Structure 1
Amino acid sequence: MPNVPWLLDVLRGAGVTVVVEGDWLNRYRPGSFDPIGVLWHHTAATSSASNPHPALNVCINGRSDLAGPLCQALVDYHGVFHLISAGRCNHAGASRGSGPIPAGDGNTLMIGWEIDYNGVNQSMTSAQYNASIAATAAVLTRLGRNSSYARGHRETSTTGKIDPSFIDLDVMRADVAARMSGGGGTWSQIVDNATAGRFTASANWGTSAYSSQRYGTEYRFAEPVAASDPAWFKFNVPTAGNYRVDVWYAANAGYNTAAPYIVATTGGNQTVNVDQRTGGGAWRSIGTFSLPAGDANRVAVSRWTSGTGLVIADAVRLTRL
């Protein structure tokens, strides 16, 4: 029997656009389903504006090795929730326990969103993130749980899953908490050097997977030079305002002593120098900046430095404050 028949009304009440996919109330797997939390995934399919939900059929019907349905809802490129099931789904597998979610049967314990992006060279769209925050906050409110019950599959998986990629799950939970307390939530987005259409650099920038401190599968590097040859990270900033800029790089004694990060702010470019010999393998804030709305190159790593050592460009995160 369906265990969360209220899901459609809760999502619509949160302002989320919902498409009902067939007989969702009676599409579910046998077994127990008593959810206490919400689990985020990515599908590993490449979505786009013209092909917003390439994994929908698989999420409904399953694969040769795993029977469907594979989630309660799929979140497409435009942030539309495709409602698939009101009952148990094969989305989580065994849970090793994370936060307040105990070890056990993840398919029993959690409602799952499959967010349709590939997670390798494609990140979640702002529409997907914002809709997922709103939906997660509404569902946890309905379940009587707080934001700590929102988890990512990589936190609960016993088999080394990486999803959802390019999302800081602590920031996600903070955004869910803000939404649950009546706020609008906080937009945050990560652009990696491998994010499709979001990173540009000349042929002078090489590619390396040398350091285990890298974000994702690789990072870019270049020799310092007294010339303008920046590597740019492009963001679609939703609204003008103040944003924290965090950077990720692999640290090494041979990397640059004063790598210039350029932030294209509302008032013009601002530069922050970072010693890339230390502090790598983690997010590092370089400050808060006033940014205009729009889709544009927003943060760069420049080769023009008086520092010594290779300049590294790996990943950048913006968070609205």
Structure 2
Amino acid sequence: MATIPWLVDVLRAAGIQVVVEGDWLNRGRPGSFDPIGVLWHHTAATSSATNPHPALNICINGRSDLPGPLCQALVDYHGVFHVISAGRCNHAGVSGGSGPIPAGDGNTLMIGWEIDYNGVDQRMTTAQYDAAVAATAAVLTRLGRDSSHARGHRETSTTGKIDPSFIDLDVMRSDVAAKMAGGGGGWTSIVDNATAGRFTASANWGVSTYSGQRYGADYRYADPVAASDAAWYRFAVPRTGNYRVEAWWPANSGYNAATPYVVATTTGNRTVYVDQRATGGQWRTLGTFTLPAGDANRVAVSRWSSAAGLVIADAVRLTEV
């Protein structure tokens, strides 16, 4: 059975958080596997910050009518790649042909990502999209193929599949192409809670060195309240354009499950909620936003959360894309 044992290393080299699920190197379906592209799916399960990968077990073990594994990797609510198989998987069925992907056995021709969202009244998260774009770009580079070899299941299906819902697949390919061409390698800046002149917070925010997952020497914390009392990060954005916004926090079961990050964009403030009980000690993508040029407060951590647990403000990174 042919395999892609390089998958985990390629994903991690692209900056993607990877969780290896069991004996992934030896898990797979019998039959040929010589991939030339990447196929995107959605699982049809409803994921959430507290239940980020509800379809994982099915993707590993399959269903009564379709034996697993059902994809090479599942992308959870937070954008984490759960790598399931280095071999052939039951994800694509028969390909009717799309772009450079010919008609034939889709499971032979393509590596599959199952993105864990329901696709009916739930869209994929920004973290899922950004991680899937980065992973697709990295894998296609490894395969020696261009972005046209990234497809959605609804494009290759001969049975009327609709996945992945709520995304423009041409835009997806454009984003993959930009990433393959070095997109995201422009201006970048980090503001930590200890960065002089760049971080402001009221006296209600304490200082802690408790967690070893912190960025830098310490971090700030506060109780949630029904008022913003935001901790602000100031950036000198060089030009109006698209910027990836990432946050770093130490995770702890006593921290807040719905911490609001506020991004001041060209069209007003956008709020993204994160679960600071999990996925700490690393950069986590909040999304890509259009930011105006200038030196000003651009990202905030607000205390206005209905969830219990301390709200944490540690570090924020902006990267031009």
TM-score of the superposed pair, with normalisation by structure 1: 0.60
Q: Which runs of 4+ in 1 moved over 2 A?
A: 239-243, 264-269, 289-295
The answer on whether the counterparts of 1:2 and 1:26 sit within 8 Å (CA) in structure 2 is no
Question: Which residue of the partner structure matches residue 73 of structure 2?
Answer: 73
Question: Which residue of the partner structure matches residue 155 of structure 1?
Answer: 155
The answer on whether the counterparts of 2:3 and 2:33 sit within 8 Å (CA) in structure 1 is yes
**Structure 1 residues 265 and 113, CA gap change in structure 2 (3 angstroms):** closer
Coordinate RMSD, CA, aligned: 2.8
Residue 3 (structure 1) shift: 1.4
In structure 1, runs of 5+ residues without a counterpart are 186-238, 244-263, 270-288, 296-319
Residue deviations 1:192-220, cap 9 Å, x none? xxxxxxxxxxxxxxxxxxxxxxxxxxxxx
Residue 266 (structure 1) shift: 3.7
**Is residue 111 of structure 2 the alignment partner of residue 111 of structure 1?**
yes
| Within-5 A mapping of 1:1-321 | 1-184=1-184, 242=241, 266=266
CA distance, structure 2, for counterparts of residue 130 and residue 267 of structure 1: 21
In structure 2, runs of 5+ residues without a counterpart are 186-236, 243-263, 270-289, 293-297, 302-319
The one-letter code of the counterpart of 2:3 is N
CA distance, structure 2, for counterparts of residue 139 and residue 89 of structure 1: 16
Instruction: Give the number of aligned pairs.
Output: 208
CA distance, structure 2, for counterparts of residue 91 and residue 42 of structure 1: 11
Residue deviations 1:248-306, cap 9 Å, x none? xxxxxxxxxxxxxxxx974779xxxxxxxxxxxxxxxxxxx8677689xxxxxxxxxxx
Question: Which residue of the partner structure matches residue 312 of structure 1?
Answer: none
The answer on whether the counterparts of 1:72 and 1:87 sit within 8 Å (CA) in structure 2 is yes
**Structure 1 residues 10 and 96, CA gap change in structure 2 (3 angstroms):** same
CA distance, structure 1, for counterparts of residue 300 and residue 170 of structure 2: 25
CA distance, structure 2, for counterparts of residue 23 and residue 102 of structure 1: 31
CA distance, structure 1, for counterparts of residue 119 and residue 134 of structure 2: 21
**Structure 1 residues 162 and 268, CA gap change in structure 2 (3 angstroms):** closer
Residue 184 (structure 1) shift: 2.0
CA distance, structure 2, for counterparts of residue 29 and residue 6 of structure 1: 18
CA distance, structure 1, for counterparts of residue 132 and residue 30 of structure 2: 26
The one-letter code of the counterpart of 1:39 is L
CA distance, structure 1, for counterparts of residue 113 and residue 135 of structure 2: 9
The one-letter code of the counterpart of 1:136 is T
Percent identity for Structure 1 against Structure 2: 80
TM-score of the superposed pair, with normalisation by structure 2: 0.60
